[in-house]
Homo-oligomer: A and B are copies of this chain.
Amino acid sequence: MAIIILGDRHAGAQAPAVPDAAAVCLSCHGPFGRPETPEYPIIGGQNAAYLASALRAYRAGQRTGEAAGVMTGVAEPLDDRTIEDLAAFFSSLRSLR
C-alpha cells in the first residue's frame, strides 16, 4: 500500500518525495502529520531542522520517559539521509504553517 500525500505547501515547487520510511510515522502522526492522539506532536509543517534533531535524539537514546520508547524504536534504524528526507517531507506539509 502506498500513501501518496502531496506536500501542498509547495503548490508550485516540486514537493519533497514521500520517503518509504514515512509510512511508520504516518501511522501514529496521521496523514498530514496531524495526529488524532493529542499526546502526540503535530509534525506536519514543523521546522525540518528541529524534526531532524529530534529524530537524532531519539535514535541516540537521548529522549526517555512517556512515549519516547516508541520513538526510539522507530528512529534507531534510520540513517542520516533518511532522517533528513523525513524531516523535509513532514516540514513540507501545511499543518503547522
Contact = CB atoms under 8 A, between A and B. Distances in A.
B66 A63 contact: no
Contacts of A49: 38-39
Nearest to A47: B38
Interface residues of A, number: 27
A65 interface: yes
The 4 closest A-B pairs by CB, nearest first: A62-B65, A38-B49, A96-B96, A41-B50
10 contacts: A35-B47, A38-B47, A39-B53, A40-B50, A41-B50, A42-B96, A56-B66, A57-B66, A95-B96, A96-B96
Interface of A: 35, 38-42, 45-50, 53-54, 56-57, 60, 62-68, 95-97
